[in-house]
Chain A
Amino acid sequence: MDFKLRVWRQKNRGDKGRFETYEAKGISSEASVLEMLDVVNRGLVAVGKDAIAFDHDCREGICGSCGIVINGGVHGPFEHNTTCELRMRRFSDGDTITIEPFRVRAFPIIKDLVVDRTAFDRIMQAGGYVTVKTGQAPEANNIAVPKKIADEAMDAAQCVGCGACAATCPNGSAMLFVAAKVSQLALLPQGKAERKERVLSMVAQMDKEGFGACSNSYACEAKCPKSVSVSHIARMNREFLRAGFGS
């Protein structure tokens, strides 16, 4: 397959950035978008031009490294996939494809398609954990967790931290990311002791990082590669109210 690519090039944080056009020729329909970029990059490097920088690693939808906007869609025009999982057979031969970085205030652009998502780490530092030191744990089966609860916690815990929720949200809100963790730990008995401080500090850090507010557009759920449900946002809101009223 042949494609024409319009790719966002930006040297560094301070640079203004611009679109540049490239040809991608003879691409296998089974190749992923990232594998297509590999082919383009090989051509660029061979003639001494700067390769297009993009984050990636596992290339199977789990590490959360990849993440670009393709034809206006976060991780591409479809739902529930990461960029690395998107195969070229989903496009038509001869298509012009526009590729740009996630545009979120809290994710500054580092270069080309690479953004800085360390805001997510700082939100996790604020309370995305259960305080238990190594060696303090009781025998595992002493903590019974009904299957239904464990499954629901797992649904939330699947978040890969790619930032698609924030990138797709009209307000650049990270509610789905934060809610996934708050909800997972609120559901499990292990997380109950710290539930109040957790939700308050994580939300405070999210605001501090410059993420926008949630206006319930629910665009995030549709785009989430792991289909994390917005019902976790509802649970987080309840947790937040509960924490606010004291305990």
Chain B
Amino acid sequence: MKLDPRTPSGPIEKRWSTRKFDMKLVNPANRRKYTVIIVGTGLAGSSAAASLAELGYNVECFTFHESARRAHSIAAQGGINAAKNYVNDGDSVWRLFHDTIKGGDYRARESNVYRLAEVSGNIIDQCVAQGVPFAREYGGSLDTRSFGGAQLSRTFYARGQTGQQLLLGAYSALMRNVKNGSVKVHGRKEMLDIIVIDGRARGIVVRDLVTGEVTTHLANAVIMATGGYGNVFYLSTNAVASNVSGLMKAWRKGAYLANPCYTQIHPTCIPVSGDYQSKLTLMSESLRNDGRVWVPKKKGDGRSPELIPESERDYYLERMYPSFGNLVPRDVASRRAKEMCDLGLGVGKTGLSVYLDFGDSIKRLGQPVMAEKYGNLMDMYHEITNEDPYKQPMRIYPAVHYTMGGLWVDYHLQSSIPGLFVAGEANFSDHGANRLGASALMQGLADGYFVLPYTVGDYLADTKFEAVKADAPEVAAGAKEVRVGIDRLMNVNGKVPADDFHRRLGHVMWEKVGMAREKAGLETAISEIQTIRKDFWKDLKVSGSDKDLNQEVEKAGRVADFIDFGELLARDALHREESCGGHFRVEHQTEEGETRRDDQNYAYAAAWQYAGEGAAPLLNKDELSFEYDIPSNRNYK
């Protein structure tokens, strides 16, 4: 299939408004007749649900969580970007656009990114009006801070709980619309398939996680806002239940998966301490504003940090990148930390961490100010590691954090299946090969509040719908397929819990498909993943019944999809013979160890198409062109 990204032409600053003007409208009196299903209630799903409901559509929301408010977005800490230029430091839509394109290493679509920057200000307005308690200056106006990859202060925040406050804002709008009857939220329900009829997405199949019952739900359009796939690495900063199944179900039904190898490793996480560990905890990047990263100059320096004099410390980010210093983008900071540890300069028991030191800031600002800015992070760190970050530097190490890849979408956020839209971290749209800090919250809310309400309406107005009966063959087949899939998991009847396979997969992914990737390693990874898949279908044990609440059934299904997806990710990484953003191929680097892009051959989004079980996926290229921001080498020196 030829991919049509439907990107508008003309001056970039007019593209979105022109496109909106060209869109078809649904008569308000008719909107109630259209049902829109939304899977996921994170920032993207909740904001889309509330906004579409307010327009008058009949909205049905599904989440595997107990309540919409528990979606993984709740955990975002640091902040949300917007080009408001409140601090008069020269910010503008153009600059946010430029930073995002450059930060993404020239692997995102200009039109999409410009639109994102353009609506960023409206997001802040909307959230403030909802009662989101953003941090304020003494005079009562909104406070901002800077984040990695930007030399401006454009990040709005609510202490270290920005995601929580934004999600509670979107959730409150959602709850208001539940109350007035325009949305129904189905909690503890997991989407396990998409129903496609005559080439269009017309519904979903879900499993009730409490009763095990499988049911079908029909609609005129389906929006997937199921989040990212970082947990394919097993250990990541994502919530434990975050998974890739939604994406994989859509993929097998014909939606293309784009750039799965663009994964982001976050430089500031609490290091791994043991194999019991179920997740890694992020220490927000905002800490890099007031913390200095260093390692001892001497290999194997076993002294405790306060005994190491200034002259024997290497503040390596400040040394290598004088203009960005500790605020270099995430991929750069992560790779450098790994390099230091590989050189034997790492600290802590395992040697797999570097220091993030607040000593100077505490001296300059005092502990109370630091506590006000970062109190909850400091406490969290103290509780987890039993070390007091006000007294000794934090120890940090990179961990998987965010995934830029996702379902391929066009400018309207529609996937390659008409009627299936994708929002938030689940799509591949705006961050290219690397996302800037504080831009995921912005994108999730941009998609939900300000893009989908228009583009979904345009689709509904422009499509002639045949009525679908609840007992149509495609519907019955969808439900049956899901039931067969669950039976298959239940009947393996081996001896090994799903978690163990997930851990094995994660290990392969981290070692060979993680921060630094190499041809031979990727090929080994693919064959190892295939072995894990064989073992999974031979040795898996799901105890208990699938007819009641059974978290083992949920896990097993998700791990099965992670295994298939892990292989696709490795294949994508293998095919992309260049380094860009979060994708670092050891073979393609500059003398200084920075990424070396190949714009001649790889300036495209790789959209992978499912070709049947066991068959190699097909590659489709969505070519990128740059009119406004001509690709240059990213230079943060």
* Interface of chain B residues 103 through 160 with chain A (CB within 8 A): 121-122, 124-131, 133-142, 158-159
- Among A35, A53, A125, A139, contact of B277 (Cβ-Cβ < 8 Å): A35
B129 adjacent to A190 (CB under 8 Å): yes
Contacts of A28 in B (CB 8 A): 273-274, 276
B414 at the interface (CB under 8 A from A): no
Residue of A nearest to B51 (CB): A134
- Among B72, B386, B499, contact of A38 (Cβ-Cβ < 8 Å): B499
Known pairs A62-B75, A138-B125, A144-B141 / 14 extra A-B pairs, C-beta < 8 Å: A31-B276, A35-B276, A57-B65, A60-B380, A64-B69, A89-B386, A114-B549, A116-B66, A118-B66, A134-B47, A136-B129, A137-B128, A140-B142, A190-B130
A94-136 CB mask vs B (1 if < 8 Å, else 0) is 0000000000000000110010111011001110111111111
Question: Closest CB-CB distance, A111 to chain B, in whole Å?
Answer: 4
A51 adjacent to B175 (CB under 8 Å): no
A14-49 CB mask vs B (1 if < 8 Å, else 0) is 000000000000011011101110110110111011
Residue of B nearest to A133 (CB): B54
Contacts of B495 in A (CB 8 A): 46
- Among B75, B121, B140, B172, contact of A63 (Cβ-Cβ < 8 Å): B75
Contacts of A35 in B (CB 8 A): 276-278
* Interface of chain B residues 192 through 244 with chain A (CB within 8 A): 210, 239-241
B551 at the interface (CB under 8 A from A): yes
Contacts of A50 in B (CB 8 A): 543-544, 550
A6 at the interface (CB under 8 A from B): no
Q: What 3 A-B pairs come out closest when comparing CB atoms?
A: A144-B140, A137-B129, A129-B172
B496 at the interface (CB under 8 A from A): yes
B380 adjacent to A140 (CB under 8 Å): no
Q: Which residues of A contact B (CB under 8 A)?
A: 11-12, 27-28, 30-32, 34-36, 38-39, 41-42, 44-46, 48-51, 53, 55-65, 81, 85, 87, 89, 110-111, 114, 116-118, 120-121, 124-126, 128-141, 143-147, 150-151, 153-154, 157-158, 160-161, 184-185, 188, 190-191
B279 at the interface (CB under 8 A from A): yes
Complex Cα distance, B240 from A160, in Å, reads 17
B161 adjacent to A139 (CB under 8 Å): no
B386 adjacent to A51 (CB under 8 Å): no
Residue of B nearest to A146 (CB): B140
B128 adjacent to A143 (CB under 8 Å): yes
B409 at the interface (CB under 8 A from A): no
Q: What are 10 A-B residue pairs whose CB atoms fall within 8 Å in the complex?
A: A58-B75, A125-B175, A125-B176, A129-B173, A129-B175, A147-B136, A153-B131, A157-B158, A158-B159, A160-B74
Residue of B nearest to A55 (CB): B66
Known: A42-B497, A125-B179, A184-B131. A134 touches B173 (CB 8 A): yes
A130 adjacent to B66 (CB under 8 Å): no
Complex Cα distance, B380 from A62, in Å, reads 11
Complex Cα distance, B127 from A141, in Å, reads 12
Residue of B nearest to A162 (CB): B70
A140 adjacent to B276 (CB under 8 Å): no
B549 adjacent to A53 (CB under 8 Å): yes
B239 adjacent to A87 (CB under 8 Å): no
A150 adjacent to B126 (CB under 8 Å): no
A121 adjacent to B543 (CB under 8 Å): no
Question: Closest CB-CB distance, A174 to chain B, in whole Å?
Answer: 14
- Among A48, A126, A154, contact of B541 (Cβ-Cβ < 8 Å): A48
Question: Closest CB-CB distance, A83 to chain B, in whole Å?
Answer: 13
Complex Cα distance, B384 from A133, in Å, reads 41
Contacts of B74 in A (CB 8 A): 58, 62-64, 160
Residue of B nearest to A117 (CB): B66
Contacts of B397 in A (CB 8 A): none
B253-281 CB mask vs A (1 if < 8 Å, else 0) is 00000000000000000000110111101
Complex Cα distance, B128 from A129, in Å, reads 12
Contacts of B165 in A (CB 8 A): 154, 157
B158 adjacent to A154 (CB under 8 Å): yes
Question: Closest CB-CB distance, A155 to chain B, in whole Å?
Answer: 9
Complex Cα distance, B209 from A53, in Å, reads 12
Complex Cα distance, B142 from A135, in Å, reads 20
Contacts of B159 in A (CB 8 A): 154, 158
Complex Cα distance, B67 from A128, in Å, reads 15
B500 adjacent to A39 (CB under 8 Å): no
Complex Cα distance, B37 from A107, in Å, reads 28
A188 adjacent to B70 (CB under 8 Å): no
B75 adjacent to A120 (CB under 8 Å): no
B449 at the interface (CB under 8 A from A): yes
B410-440 CB mask vs A (1 if < 8 Å, else 0) is 0000000000000000000000000000000
* Interface of chain B residues 317 through 352 with chain A (CB within 8 A): none
B628 at the interface (CB under 8 A from A): no
Contacts of B173 in A (CB 8 A): 129, 132, 134
Contacts of A114 in B (CB 8 A): 549
Complex Cα distance, B542 from A208, in Å, reads 40
Question: Closest CB-CB distance, B340 to chain A, in whole Å?
Answer: 24
B68 at the interface (CB under 8 A from A): yes
Question: Closest CB-CB distance, A202 to chain B, in whole Å?
Answer: 11
B541 adjacent to A46 (CB under 8 Å): yes
B453 at the interface (CB under 8 A from A): yes
Contacts of A60 in B (CB 8 A): 75, 279, 281, 380
Question: Closest CB-CB distance, B6 to chain A, in whole Å?
Answer: 23
Known: A28-B274, A46-B541. A87 touches B384 (CB 8 A): yes
Known: A110-B549, A157-B168. A130 touches B131 (CB 8 A): yes
Complex Cα distance, B86 from A226, in Å, reads 31
Known: A58-B75, A137-B125, A140-B124. A124 touches B172 (CB 8 A): yes
Question: Closest CB-CB distance, A198 to chain B, in whole Å?
Answer: 11
B585 at the interface (CB under 8 A from A): no
Contacts of B549 in A (CB 8 A): 12, 53, 110-111, 114
